[in-house]
Amino acid sequence: MKRYLPLLVMSFFVIVIITGTTYLIGYAGRQNENSLTTITVYTTLPVEQISVIAQEYEKIANVRVNITPLSEKDLFARLIEESSSPKADLILANRKTLKQARSSALLVPYQSEYTDIIPNMFQDTDGYWVGVWYDPVVFAVNKDYLKSTAKKPAKWSELPQDANQRFGLTDFVAADAAANLLYTLVAANGEDQTLDFLRKLHPQIVQYAKFLATPARMASMGEVDIAISVQSEAMRYVKDGFPVQIIYPEDGTAYLLTGVGLVRGAVHSMAARQFIDWLAQNEVLPVMAEHKFYFMPTNPEVQMYRGFATKNIKLLDHHDMYSPEQQSKILDKWVQVRLGIK
């Protein structure tokens, strides 16, 4: 037994060293994971969109992005409640929410060489928030229908072109992006003219959809000839090989702008600023496109910008013209049109 004692002692020490080393490696890994800087983002956007961005940024920047999805109302209420001790570093939301946060002194300005290149129409004049992508309303036209007609739909003012055209449209009451189109057309053309246009279009609407995706799907399946749709939804069907062509209205169109703002008193302000810069650059939209989220970059130097026919897009920028009360009245009048009440 004695002659085996040195061997047993040596084996014991080897086991201790291996076990200790393994523990330290695991502990170091946990330490490294726990020591990551974490920025918290409050957002009104679908979590499936933002999680794609968060995962990519954590990979390349070694910064964890904690996403908190909220409704517009809840996001604003949370910022107010936490204003003396903020838990969020950034908000990533539509322009309406960003403007509301700015007017309530919940954001601080931030500008850099990356945001400076973005056109003024897509950002706050004093740098309190910056738009990073937008989603225009388009005509998503079934290609089989295009083959059968002598004239492509080109303008709002030309719809409908004949009594046989079939249209798909998201109900203005069902989604903010759809309602934004209504307010924009009223601002651009006047209330009476817009309501007359919608009254003329009404008999040829196959379905007033509840969701933004539905009209584009209907056009892709030949259930309607022309869908009035946000581009991001129509582009999914184009990329998947469905017979759909996107046409930008020549007389201008509405759009939904998504932007980011730095929360006043943010704990991780420096890391949040770096995230804003990254959102304004090349990498974000291709990552989203890989997961079938197709948006237009506000930065004209982003490579994906060249892949879109941006020269054909005329944006109608009338987002500030109506108060919530005025918007409600416009919607009420639209409901009367839909119900056939004159």
pLDDT digits (tens, 9 = 90+) for 153-195: 999 998 998 889 999 999 999 988 899 999 999 999 999 999 9
**Band of pLDDT at residue 97, cut at 50, 70 and 90:** very high
pLDDT digits (tens, 9 = 90+) for 234-247: 999 999 999 999 99
Closest to 159 in 3D by CA, of 250, 223, 235, 254: 250
Residue 225 pLDDT more than 80? Answer: yes
CATH 3.40.190.10 residue window(s) in the chain: 37-134+256-307, 135-254+317-338
pTM of the model: 0.86
pLDDT digits (tens, 9 = 90+) for 15-43: 444 444 433 334 344 445 556 899 999 99
Classify residue 308 by its DSSP letter.
S
- Average pLDDT estimate for 249-276: 96
What confidence score (pLDDT) does residue 21 get?
A: 40
| DSSP-assigned states of every residue in 234-249 | HHHHHHTT-SEEEE--
Phi, psi of 250, rounded to the nearest 5 degrees: -65, -25
- Average pLDDT estimate for 48-53: 92
pLDDT digits (tens, 9 = 90+) for 123-161: 999 999 999 999 999 999 999 999 999 888 999 998 998
- Report the alpha-carbon distance of residue 34 to residue 28 in Å, rounded: 10
Residue 318 pLDDT more than 80? Answer: no
- Report the alpha-carbon distance of residue 184 to residue 254 in Å, rounded: 6
- 135-254+317-338 folds as D-Maltodextrin-Binding Protein; domain 2 (3.40.190)
What confidence score (pLDDT) does residue 211 get?
A: 92
- Report the alpha-carbon distance of residue 226 to residue 208 in Å, rounded: 13
For residue 160, is the peptide bond before it cis, meaning its omega torsion is within 30 degrees of 0? Answer: yes
What confidence score (pLDDT) does residue 300 get?
A: 84
What confidence score (pLDDT) does residue 309 get?
A: 61
Pick the CATH number of 37-134+256-307 from 3.40.1440.10, 3.40.50.300, 3.40.1710.10, 3.40.190.10: 3.40.190.10
